[in-house]
Amino acid sequence: MSVPAGTIERLDAELKEALKAKDDLKVSVIRMIKASLKNKSIEKMSALTDDDILSVLSHFAKQRRESIEQFTAAGRTDLAGKEEKELQIVQTYLPQQLSPQEIDDIIRSAISECGASSPNDMGKVMKIVSPKTKGTADGKIVSQRVKELLSSHP
């Protein structure tokens, strides 16, 4: 799954809009994304592919989810709320997220494809599932579902 076409152009256009609207949070998030994309491009010493852009955006989303978890656990709902708003902005640039049913269908297909029969086969299943869910599902949720489905697999 690749990022929507024109994501970089869309970031530029929405940055201008956010600056005009004085939407400080959106300006901040877009600038962080653009800086990470630029750093990734410098690191690669070439133009970014859709997979590179997807990787940067997915990493941002993952960071926000982890921060929300930590702030919520620490009782810092104010900071968790800010991270949730940032996550919502980042997700607008990611491909449509898979539903739990779609994730389960992909996992079940992978289980039958590789003949997995127990939680010990999790690595085999994840090797098939990960590329299919990259950027469209939270890896933590996917691995948790693989574990659950393998445990209940007859």
Residue 3: per-residue pLDDT? 56
Residue 1: per-residue pLDDT? 46
What DSSP letter does each residue of 6-31 carry, written as one string? THHHHHHHHHHHHHHHT-HHHHHHHH
pLDDT in tens, 15-31: 999 999 999 999 999 99
Give Dmax (Cα) for the chain.
58
What DSSP letter does each residue of 88-114 carry, written as one string? HHHHTTSPPPPPHHHHHHHHHHHHHHH
Residue 5: per-residue pLDDT? 60
Question: Is residue 2's pLDDT more than 80?
Answer: no
Nearest by Cα to 142 from 153, 152, 128? 128
pLDDT in tens, 106-136: 998 988 888 888 888 888 889 999 888 887 8
pLDDT in tens, 30-88: 999 999 999 999 998 988 888 888 889 988 988 999 999 999 999 999 999 999 999 99
All domains of the chain in start order, with CATH: 7-91 (1.10.1510.10), 100-152 (1.10.10.410)
